[in-house]
Each structure stands twice: as structure tokens, then as C-alpha cells.
Structure 1
Amino acid sequence: MASNSRADFAHSISTQNSPGDTAISIRSRAIGPDVLRAVAILLVMLVHLPVEATPSFLLGVRTYGWLGVDVFFVLSGFLIGIQMFKELSRTGRLDIKSFYIRRAIRIFPAFFTVLGLYALFPVLRDAPTMQPFWSFATFTVNFNFDPRVGRAFSQVWSLCVEEHFYLILPLLVVLLHRRINTKQALVAGAAAIIAGMILRYTLWETQVAVLVETGNFRDAFSVYLRDVYYPTYTRLDGLLFGVTLAGLRHFYADAYRRYAPPKVALPLGITFVATSLVLFSLRGPLEGANLFLVFQAQLGAVVGFPLVSLGIALILGAMLDLDDVMARWPFPGTASIATLAYSLYLSHKSVYHIDRVLFGEENLQGNLGFLIYIATSFAVAATLWYCVERTFLLIRDRVMRPGSTDRSQLSKPQSS
């Protein structure tokens, strides 16, 4: 994509966090990221939707709803990365203080509002047990997160991963800027991906395999979630591929267009995602699995994450390059869903639970149950967005000095 084109992401969209950031204040909307964000949050909601209220045509999709989190990770890596690379190119420095303030104002108000409601009103909790509140407040709940001990508000494990990313990446950029070149940075990123694969293999062999060998498949799956799936140090693939995509498109724009045009990147990305889904097809409790299927699940845990992340990154790159084409297609409701993504992410599990309390689970089956779950989720999310998210974004845009990190037009509240 030419740097001065309509779809130039460096000019068209502000920095966003994966589940929650929205593309509200942009000069020229890039359609692709909104589409991916909307799809991602709908997948996350679908995977938590009771099976009884899931339309039959979505049952097969529901199995792979977890893919939404990986889409969010790649989006976050790309959007934060392109913001930082642009600022470095423009000013020669990175305003870390401004970055952290903007991130805090973007993420904390809605998060702590929902967390406070969970603390004050136990009836809102979507599960009987919950991890300690201090672990949520410090964004460390994804470490040693055993779903057998507490599951309420469990979806924020991925927000914790992103918070750690937001904390560390700017420091690394400042530390390594002018000390290593882009090629060396790419080598370091590849080394981190390989290290993650080795770590997940080791954790599987030492923590999960023992339970699988004794036939304790359900506990094996819980340990897999605790030690392999949730921790930040095992889930950096999507964020790293997102940052890599940002670096390639920013520093090697011509080479990227030459070697990864949409006609190459899009089918290749779809192939990688499809292959990873096959590997993850038995990522569940593994109950009754034979040795070959267990090996397939292990292979998914080791190589599936980088494979799916690479595929999503290629698809994102292709969608950015096809922005002029996509702008002519109708995507009704996409921008609104993307705008509400963070509020939906934080609140939908509690809303599902309250629906069951108010209406009775037996009355929330089939298409009617599906409509009630979705309608109430969007109503609550819209309220949270308008009362909390939008309010603090407006405040932030008024108090942040002109020219601060990733500042855009203020005609509407920003998303970053």
C-alpha cells in the first residue's frame, strides 16, 4: 500500500487495544481492522454462549470461537507497533509517559468499573467461584489461573497479556532504538517465537502429558489452560507477529508490497489459519482421545499459535491493501460492533448470567434465547461505552497536550 493512499494505516486509524479499542476518530476509516475486530468479539461472545441458545448453523463455528482472542492479539501488536514506529520516524523519540497515560485512561475506567461491580454485587458473577480480586486489579490473574478454582470474569486473562505487552514494548523500543537495525529486530522476534514453541512443548511434556498418560483428560485440559494457554510468556505469538507486520509495512513498505501482495498474502493467510484450526480441532478436554489425537493436540499447542498468528497477520495486511476495494462493499453494523468491542468483552459473560437469573435458563433456549442474550449484551455494552468509555476518552482528549502520542482529530472521542 502506498504511504499516501486512502488506506494508509499510519494516517487513517488510531492505536487500539485488542478487545476494546475502537476506530471512532479517524480521518479515513480502514475497513479491514474494523471487520476483524467485529468478527473477533463476536467469536469471543459465541464461545461463551450457552449451547442451548446457539443456532445450529453456528455450532460448528462456536468450537473455534477462541480464535477471536488471537485476532485481537495480532491487531494489538500491529496497531501499537505502527503507532510507535511512526512516532520514532517523525520525532526520533518515543513519548513513553504519554503512551502509558493514554493506555491507562483507555483501559482502566471500564475495566475497574466492571471489576467493582463484580466485587460489590456477587449476583453479577458469571460463575460461583472467582480468583482473588487483587490478581485482577494487578492484571496478574492469567498467571497460575486454574479454572477449577475460579472462573468468574475469566475472559480478562487476555487483557492481562496485552497489559504486559503495553508495559514492556515501549521500554524495549526505547532501549533498542538506534542500537539494533530492523533486520536484527526481526531475528530477535523470530527467536522469541521459537522460544515460545520450545516453552510450550516443555510445559506440555512436564505438566500435561503426565495427566494424559493416566487418563485424567479433564484435569489435563485444566492444567493445559493454566500452564500453556493463559500465561503471558506462552502467548506472545500474536502480538509479536502484529508488531512484525507493522515493522515490515512501515520500514520496508515497497518490499512488502512486492513480496506479499493481497493475491499472495490472503490465500496464504487463510491456509495457515485453516491448518492451525485442524491442529487445534482436538484442543478440548481430550476425553477418550487416542495417542495420535493427543499428539495432534500437543502439536497444536506447540506450533498452532504461531501458525494462526502468522495467518491472521497476512490476512490483516491483505485487507489493509484492499481497503479501497472493501470500502465499496457493505459492512452494516461493523463499525458499531467494533466500537463496542471492549465493553462487550468486559460485560458479556455477566450479562449472560443475569439473563439466566432473570428469565430462567429453560426459557433461554433456541433462537429466542439467542436473541435475548445478544440484545441484552449489546444494550449493556452500549451503556458502559457511553457512560464510562466515551466519557473518559473525551476527558483524555481534552487534557492531553497537542502532539502527544497518536493524537488524532478530536471531533469524536478517540479509541486509542
Structure 2
Amino acid sequence: MNSITVANSKPLDPLDETASLEAAATARALGPDILRALAILLVMLVHLPWGATPLPLAGIRPYGWIGVDIFFVLSGYLIGTQLMAEAARRHAVDFKAFYLRRAFRILPAFLLVLAFYAFIPALRDAPTMQSAWRFLTFTVNFGLDPRLGGTFTEAWSLSVEEHFYLVLPVLVVLLKRRASVVFVAFLVTTIMIAGMGLRFALWQSQVGPAAEMQAYRAALAVYLRDVYYPTYNRLDGLTFGVVLAAIRLFKPLLWERYMPPYIALGIGSMFVVVALVIFSNRGSFAETNLPLVFQPLPGAVIGFPLFSAGVTFVLGALLDLQPRIGRWHLPAISGIATLSYSLYLTHKAVYHLDQMVFGKVNLQGLSGFVIYFSTCFIVAATLWFLVERNFLALRDHLLPRSHRAG
């Protein structure tokens, strides 16, 4: 049962429904925290060298890049819920308040880390770095060739999310009175098909020729630049997250009737497993030693939407199970989820610093694993306490209470 279920004898008030779900979405909930913690641990694991990866995690490490897609689904759901609930309740969206919330949440820690990278070259985790204006304008994910600018490349996903923040409020306002189930289904289907078609065309025209010449490292760079990083190719998770928010806001009884938690969890798990099988099928690239983030045609085309759909079903199930799992006392999960943004911003730089301080030879085996994760959490906690927490408190002080969510 979800947080907005009402007795059949009680009239349904859509304004009460959207307000209660918005409050539930923006409150601390264990289900989203579990996914958020899993996502950041996967991302951190993929950037850990093999020599410091414990054997039980060796089979998981190549899939760590999917953590970003989990983040996209969470962002789509949470931001979609906030905006659509506000539009339904107030018949408008306060653009200024929304962008201020996002700015206070995203920019302070991001700008500080970027300043360290820009002004202290010794901290850079790669020999080259994109121009600072690319990061400041959140356009770094367009034309990002890791061979020409490998430092702070994790900012590509922040660029995708910033573009999402710019577009979604406008889309919500435009659709709030005209959207029907049929129209929304058509729009979502169009986005999915267009994304798959574009990735297919780009893989065939840009990545394929390099792969056919067995220039595999060049093929990887082109794949990341043209297929993996650009916003227009990474809308699957964000879109499915927004769809979940819309269904739970406006069709809650429909979701409750046809997607009880264990059915949604089963469907979501099946989709995730199938997507991972597709991602694992390397085909003719099995012997190339290319990282698993490089996907042959099937994975690049259908793997992303299938995995995102699976995570969306799992998220919906966890949200409905909140009354049960919310009783669990898992402070480590909540702590990791709280630090996830700071961890994402700093983990690659921290490992580079670890190499400078401890020496690369000492970052092998279990000791290397412990040093990496310990120092990452120390730096992330420092960034959260000194920057993130204080700017969130300032945001809450400056913005009216009704605009503090998010």
C-alpha cells in the first residue's frame, strides 16, 4: 500500500492526494535511499583499479557504470513529483523557487570541487581537462572525448540533470491542462523510440567504422563522446522516473491495483536481469578488453531503456513497501545516501590523491580497498558538513516553507 491510499468510502480529493505524495517523495524514505546508496557504491567501485578490488566484488565492478542510470531514475521521480504536485495544487509552477532550490542543492559543492580542479592541477585525475566554461555552462557532456579531457568527466551526468531541470518545469506547465493518458503514453513512446533510433544511427555511423578497423580504443572514445554522454541519448531513466511520478500522483489506484509491490518488484528485477544479460553479451568485442561501459549495438540501443524501466518498477515497489521497510534501522544506508552527491563529485580525485600520498604500489589488495573507501568517505563527509549542509540550511532560511522541498 502506498502513502496515498484512501478508503473506498471516502471521496478522493486530488489536491490532498498530490500534496501527500509530494510530502512523501521529498521526505527521507528508505527505499530511495537504498537505491541511491547502491548507485553511488557502484560508481565508486567502477573507478577502483582491479588490483584493489576484492574477489567477491570483481564480478560486480564492470557493471558499476549502471549506477548513473539509477540516479537518473531517482531524479526523474523526485523532481517530477515535486513539479507535477505543485502544478496540480497551485495550477502553476514557481520557476524562481524551483531553480533556487536546485542551485542551492547542486552548485556550491560542484563549484568548489571544480575550483580545486581548475586552480590546483596536481589534483587532476587525468593529464587533460576540458575548459572550465564547459563545466560552468553544463555543456561538458557534448563532444566530450576522454582522450582530450579526462579530468572530472563525471560531471557529464550533472550536465544531463541540469538540462532536465531546465526542460521539465516548462514541459509540466505546457502539459498540465492538455495531458491525457493517451497523449502522455504517445510522448513517452516517442522519446523512447527516438532515443533508440538515434543511438542505433550513431553507433552504426560513428562507432562501427572505428570498431571495424579494430581501432578499439578509438571506438571506445567515440562511443562515449557520441552515444554515452550526450543528454539526448540518456533520457530513458529520467523519463521513466517522471512517468512513475505521474502515475503515482494522478492514477494511484490504478498503480495500486495492477502493480502491488511484489509484482512490481518481480517485473523490475526481471527487466534488470535481462538488461544485464544484454550488457554482458560482448559479441565480437569479447576479446578486446574494452570496459563493459562500451556497449555493442544491442546494449547501446535497448539495454538503457530496459534497465531504466526495471529500476523504475523496483523504485515503485520500494515506495509502496515504505510502511514496512521504514521500520528498519539502517543508518549506514541513510548515511551513504546523504553523502552520495559529495562522494560522486570527489571520489576520482580522492583516489588520485591516495596515489600521491600512499603510492600506487600500496593501493593494492584489501589495504588499497580500505584506504580508497575510507578516504572517499572522509572527504565527502567534510564536503557535506562544511558546504552542502550549510547551503541547504541557508536555502531553508531564504525560501518560504512551502518552497523548501527538494
> TM-score, structure 1 length as denominator?
0.90
Q: How far is the alpha carbon of 1:182 from its aligned partner?
A: 3.8
Secondary structure at 1:385 match in 2? helix
- Equivalent residue number for residue 22 of structure 1: none
- Separation of aligned partners in 1, 2:34 and 2:146: 31
List aligned pairs for 1:206-225, cutoff 5 A. Answer: 206-225=205-224
Partner residue, 1:386: 385
Map Cα deviations across residues 15-47 of structure 1 (whole Å, 9 max, x no partner). Answer: xxxxxxxxxxx3xx4210000000100000000
Alignment of 1:344-355 (within 5 A): 344-355=343-354
Are 2:324 and 1:325 aligned?
Answer: yes
Find the residue that maps to 2:154 and give its secondary structure: helix
Measured in 2, the distance between the counterparts of 1:348 and 1:283 equals 28
2:14 corresponding residue in structure 1? none
> Which residue pairs with 1:38 in the alignment?
37
- In the alignment, what sits opposite 2:16? none
User: Match for residue 24 of structure 2?
Assistant: 12
* Structure 1 CA distance for aligned equivalents of residues 343 and 88 of structure 2: 35
Kept after mapping to 2: 8 A contact 1:142/1:160:
yes
Measured after TM superposition, the shift of residue 286 of structure 1 is 3.0
Q: Which residue of 2 aligns with 1:226?
A: 225
Q: Which moved more, 1:321-330 or 1:126-135?
A: 321-330
Q: Which residue number corresponds to residue 18 of structure 1?
A: none
For structure 1, the residue ranges without an aligned partner over 5 or more in a row are 15-25, 409-415
Cα contact 2:33–2:337 (8 A) shared by 1: yes
Is the Cα contact below 8 Å between 2:87 and 2:172 reproduced in 1?
A: no
Aligned residue for 2:401, secondary structure, equals: coil
The equivalent residue for 1:138 is: 137
Question: Would the alpha carbon gap of residues 139 and 391 (structure 1) be closer, same or farther in structure 2, given more than 3 Å must change?
Answer: same
RMSD: 2.1
**1:264 Cα deviation from its structure 2 partner:** 1.3
Distance (Å, rounded) in 2 between the aligned partners of 1:189 and 1:161: 18
Structure 1 residue aligned with 2:187? 188
Per-residue CA shift, 1:382-401, capped at 9, x if unaligned? 11111111111111110112
Q: Which residue of 2 aligns with 1:121?
A: 120
- TM-score in terms of structure 2 length: 0.92
- CA-CA distance at 1:117 after TM superposition: 0.5
Q: d(CA) in 1 for partners of 2:298 and 2:136?
A: 34
The CA deviation at 1:322 is 1.0
Count of matched residue pairs? 390
SS of residue in 2 equivalent to 1:333: helix
Task: Report how far residue 402 of structure 1 moved.
Answer: 3.2
Deviations 1:108-143 (A, max 9, x none): 110000000101111111111111111111110100
Moved more, 171-180 or 29-38: 171-180
Sequence identity (%): 55
- Which amino acid in structure 1 is aligned with residue 183 of structure 2? Q
Distance 2:361 2:284 in 1: 26
Q: Which residue of 1 aligns with 2:199?
A: 200
* C-alpha deviation, 1:3, in angstroms: 4.0
Alignment map for 1:286-365 (pairs within 5 Å): 286=285, 288=287, 297-365=296-364
* Equivalence for 1:160: 159
Task: Find the aligned partners of 1:328 and 1:95 in 2 and give their Cα distance.
Answer: 35
CA–CA distance in structure 1, aligned partners of residues 207 and 283 of structure 2: 13
Contact 1:218 1:285 in 2 (8 A): no
Q: Is the alpha carbon distance of 1:315 and 1:63 closer, same or farther for their aligned partners in structure 2, counting shifts above 3 Å? A: same
What is the rounded CA distance, in whole Å, between the counterparts of 2:55 and 2:319 in structure 1?
33
3-state SS of 1:143 partner:
coil
Task: State the 1:288 CA deviation.
Answer: 3.6
Query: Is the CA contact 2:240–2:308 (under 8 Å) kept in the aligned structure 1?
Result: yes
Amino acid at match of 1:306: P
Tell me which amino acid in the other structure corresponds to 2:301.
V
1:411 is aligned to: none
| Structure 1 residue 158 displacement after superposition | 0.6
**1:217/1:287 contact within 8 Å kept:** no
Alignment pair present for 1:259 and 2:258: yes
Q: Measure how far apart 1:280 and its partner are.
A: 1.2
Task: Give the drift of 1:332.
Answer: 4.0
Q: 1:288 to 1:195 in 2, by over 3 A?
A: same
Distance 2:376 2:21 in 1: 30
Residues of 2 paired with 1:126 and 1:284: CA distance?
32
Look up the match of 1:270.
269
Deviating more after overlay: 186-195 vs 299-308? 186-195
The one-letter code of the counterpart of 2:396 is D
When residues 5 and 330 of structure 1 are mapped into structure 2, their CA distance, relative to the original with a 3 A threshold, is farther
TM-superposed deviation, 1:93: 1.1
Are the counterparts in 2 of residues 34 and 335 from structure 1 also a CA contact under 8 Å?
yes
**What is the rounded CA distance, in whole Å, between the counterparts of 2:127 and 2:242 in structure 1?**
38
Deviates more, 1:88-97 or 1:278-287: 278-287
In structure 1, distance between residues paired with 2:311 and 2:82 = 19
303-312 vs 206-215, greater mean Cα deviation: 206-215
The CA deviation at 1:181 is 2.2
Q: Hey, what does 1:19 align to over in structure 2?
A: none
Q: How does 1:239-254 map to 2 (within 5 A)?
A: 239-254=238-253
Amino acid at match of 1:134: W
3-state DSSP class of the match of 1:64?
Answer: helix
- Specify whether residues 284 and 75 from structure 1 end up closer, same or farther in structure 2 by C-alpha distance, changes over 3 A only: farther
Structure 2 CA distance for aligned equivalents of residues 283 and 152 of structure 1: 28
Q: Match of 2:280?
A: 281
Counting only pairs closer than 5 Å after superposition, residues 103-122 of structure 1 correspond to structure 2 as 103-122=102-121
Deviation at 1:283, TM superposition (A): 6.2
CA deviations 1:326-378 (Å, max 9, x no partner) are 12444340111111000000001000000000000101111111111111101
Q: 1:66 to 1:185 in 2, by over 3 A?
A: same
